[in-house]
Amino acid sequence: MNRLVLTLGLLLLFDQPGFCQLWTKQRIREQLPLLTKFQEIPLGDGRYLLTPVLDTLPDQHVLADLYNRNAFYVSYLFGRYSAFPPETVASREVNLSSKTKLEQQAYLKDTLARLNSALHRAMQNDTLLNRHFLDMTAYYLEAKGIRINDYTAPPKPAISYTTLLKLSSRIFGSIKLIDDQHVVYQLNLSNDRSEVANQPLVEAFSHQAVWFATMSRDWQEYRHDSSFMEEVRSLQNRLAPLEDTPENRTITRQAMQELIARSPLLEQTIKQEYQRMKPWLGFISTD
């Protein structure tokens, strides 16, 4: 009876996506189209927004835990380390109010198929994205004891927490003290690429760690000690007289990021996320 159960269990395991074939560079490349797609968003009155969104893998897929639980990490690589034409991922609005419901459905089906075909082809042909996507996936598979038949991920570089904190601080736009009690961090929501430091897997980690943390209640309710709040207050006072010019905005942001890199809250966040993701990350902390 036990032998039968074991046999059935192994059959079910090897029938799952990810276990039924050998992993190769080509097979990893073929996973890219599974991760994003164009989707229609109804706007009302027959108007639709066609926009790319991250997709999810089936729960039984061997890579599901990596991709489905780390959307910010994956999206950072897509957004910062890809080279396909911008129009390939550009959102677009269509007005189908003059069409019947059936005609709208047919139009959306055909258009989405065409957009997804172009997007997925561009992703698979993007050598920059594929290189980092390959390393990310290789580290994850190796952490699970799964060998890639024709590829070995490069040795993981050593990164100090000081460097991680400096990289993470680039994601913020400002820091300020409100009511002499609360320290407020503002993320940089622009697309100026100022956080790019040619360390894609390290940056992707920092990006996700910061975004996850700043949406949590623990981050919003954290009480800084008086010395750090005084540093924030002092910085605000020194920067307040500066005229609002592009040069001064750069100076202000850099000064604020230097202070954010010393934030006990940011340090706590980065260390916690590193321990959670450590087995498959593309670097090793030296601290």
Amino acid, res. 17: P
pLDDT score at 99: 96
Tell whether 136 and 193 lie within a shared domain: no
Mean pLDDT value across the chain? 86
Is 240's pLDDT higher than 90?
no
Domain count, the chain: 2
**Domain limits at 65?**
20-143
Question: Is residue 241 assigned to a domain?
Answer: yes
- Interval 156-181: pLDDT, tens: 999 999 999 998 998 888 888 887 77
Q: Of 143, 172, 190, which marks where a domain is finished?
A: 143
How large a percentage of the chain has pLDDT more than 70? Answer: 90
CB 82 within 8 A of CB 93: no
Tell whether 188 and 279 lie within a shared domain: yes
Rounded to whole angstroms, how far apart are CA atoms 112 and 105? 10
Tell whether 137 and 202 lie within a shared domain: no
- Interval 49-63: pLDDT, tens: 999 999 989 999 999
Tell whether 76 and 121 lie within a shared domain: yes
**Helix (H/G/I), strand (E/B), else coil: 177:** strand
The answer for 153, left when phi > 0, alpha when psi is -120 to 50, beta otherwise, is beta
Tell whether 164 and 277 lie within a shared domain: yes
Question: Is residue 101 assigned to a domain?
Answer: yes
Burial (CB count <10 Å: 0-12, 13-18, 19+), residue 55:
middle
Rounded to whole angstroms, how far apart are CA atoms 149 and 16? 19
The answer for 206, left when phi > 0, alpha when psi is -120 to 50, beta otherwise, is alpha
Question: Is residue 1 assigned to a domain?
Answer: no
How large a percentage of the chain has pLDDT more than 90? Answer: 53
Tell whether 128 and 216 lie within a shared domain: no
Tell whether 195 and 109 lie within a shared domain: no
Per-residue pLDDT band at 12 (split at 50, 70, 90): very low
SS3 of 214-229 = HCCHHHHCCCCCHHHH
pLDDT score at 125: 93
Tell whether 34 and 126 lie within a shared domain: yes
